[in-house]
Amino acid sequence: MNKARPQPITGHILIVDDVPENIHLLSAALCDQGHKVRGVLSGEMALRASDSLPDLILLDIMMPDMDGYEVCQKLKASPQTCNIPIIFLSALDTVADKVRAFDIGGADFITKPFQLQEVYARVTHQLKLQQLQKQLVVQAEALSEKNERLQQEIRDRTQIEAALRASEIAEREKTQQLSQTLQQLQKAQAQLVQHEKMSGLGQLVAGVAHEINNPVTFIHGNLQCAETYTQDLLKALQIYQQAVPQLPPHLQTRLESLSLEFIQEDFPKLLQSINVGSERIREIVDSLRLFSRHSEAKVKVVDIHKGIDSTLMILQSRLRAQAHQAAIAVAKDFGNLHKVESYPGELSKVVMKILTNAIDALDSLRQPGATHAHREPTIQIQTKCLSADQIGIYISDNGSGIPKAIQTRLFDPFFTTKDIGKGTGLGLSISYNIIVEQHKGALRCLSVPEQGAMFAIEIPVAQTQPSV
């Protein structure tokens, strides 16, 4: 397959020479090569003709009025014609002439008398260079335009990505806000339910305490009379026995069958036991009444120690020894505390929750064959003045402790380590809010694995009343 011949390179050529024969010769020769040629006889005419922007200028140096050097300088000084290549034609062939021609912007130099083959070659070379230069300019413009489009696409993509990121961030923040709002609503609902439970429990406890208190007061009050009457009857019996030492046989037999001596000895003990039991019931009733009063969500001046004792009294059934379970010892180290302003109902919830958790933690020690069965299950409660304005309540147990991974989440809402159905995960979260947000205090946990855990409650002595 024959390759296609390359197309000859042609162009618009301006010939400047003051000799018409030279112009005629060159024009004829270049036209035969396919070029479009125009000839002028002076520098002034060359400057005017160059306005049509030829592709190449053949410029003679030795001309009257304005030589080729000056014409070249003027052409190169104009922004419109500065890029037109100029080939000097001259009989001057010294190195200095040639150097000057190149210094002022000439592209090539042909010495007269010239050879047409040389002229063809140099003209073709310059036109080829001109053509390549134009192609480079076109390519550069195309690349510049393409680059501008790419830059614009990059800017557009950057703006779109920024908008997407902003939208994603906004959506994430919105989702987070919704999650926080939902969590707050759930927590508020749980607190409301808990408050209603405590309020209902307080009313129930108050009613039960009231109903029990009346008969217990009656029994306790009459026991003193019963003890007095008993002593009087026993004295009267002794007087009668002294006055009538010998009874008729049938009465003596009847008296011996009654075990009178045992009754005389045991009956005072029986009354004393009843009295102790009634006192115990009165203490329980007082604790229940105190607990029911604490259910009121108002700031009151309270005795912290009485509140703790009433809570312990209510938990006695869980602290006592049971079948296959040892008792839990309670060690109290109460400091000399003044009465404290607090929300007693809310504070009782916190103490109750921490004590209940401590009992749950110690249940593993109470089982037969437990790992630390040799360790007596113990709860320690300490209170002390931290300063003139703050007191502390510290409740600790000697159970298995709390792992570090869990300690950081203890007060998170709905976090629990108990089995499903045995814990809501809200007890300690609500307790934290009660102490930190409501009482403006601090609640924290300190635990060493296998050695137990301690909860510290620190609250101010006086509470700031909310403005109405």
Q: At 455, which helix (H) or strand (E)? A: strand 452-460
| 129 assigned to some structural domain | no
Question: pLDDT tens digits for 199-208?
Answer: 555 566 666 6
**Average pLDDT score over the chain:** 81
| 283 assigned to some structural domain | no
- Most confident stretch, 57-71, 260-274, 367-381, 402-416: 57-71
114, 146, 169 - which closes a domain: 114
Does the pLDDT of residue 291 top 80, yes or no? no
Reported as a pLDDT band with limits 50, 70 and 90, residue 468 is: very low
| 280 assigned to some structural domain | no
The closest alpha carbon to 328, from 276, 399, 277, belongs to 399
Provide the pLDDT for residue 467.
46
- Most confident stretch, 253-267, 385-399, 402-416, 428-442: 385-399
91, 114, 137 - which closes a domain: 114
Reported as a pLDDT band with limits 50, 70 and 90, residue 85 is: very high
Reported as a pLDDT band with limits 50, 70 and 90, residue 73 is: very high
Higher-pLDDT residue of 465 and 409 is 409
CA dist 254 and 403 (Å) reads 73
| 275 assigned to some structural domain | no
Residue 440: which domain range? 297-468
| 279 assigned to some structural domain | no
| 84 assigned to some structural domain | yes
The structural domain count of the chain equals: 2
449 prior amide bond cis, ω within 30 = no
Question: pLDDT tens digits for 436-446?
Answer: 888 899 999 88
CA dist 290 and 310 (Å) reads 7
CA atoms 86, 92, 94, 100: torsion sign: negative
Q: Mean pLDDT lowest for which of 28-42, 70-84, 273-287, 289-303?
A: 289-303
Reported as a pLDDT band with limits 50, 70 and 90, residue 31 is: very high
Max alpha carbon distance in the chain (Å)? 191
Q: Domain containing 362 — which CATH number?
A: 3.30.565.10
Provide the pLDDT for residue 36.
92
114, 145, 175 - which closes a domain: 114
| 195 assigned to some structural domain | no
Q: At 324, which helix (H) or strand (E)? A: none
Mean pLDDT over 273-294 rounds to 66
Higher-pLDDT residue of 172 and 323 is 172
| 135 assigned to some structural domain | no
CA dist 102 and 79 (Å) reads 19
Q: Domain containing 71 — which CATH number?
A: 3.40.50.2300
- Most confident stretch, 110-114, 280-284, 440-444: 440-444
Collapse the DSSP code of 381 into the 3-class scheme (helix H, G, I; strand E, B; otherwise coil) and give the result: strand
Here the tokens at position 28 are 């004829």
Share of the chain above pLDDT 90, in %: 17
Q: Is the pTM of this model over 0.85?
A: no
Question: pLDDT tens digits for 208-241?
Answer: 666 676 677 767 677 777 778 778 787 887 787 7
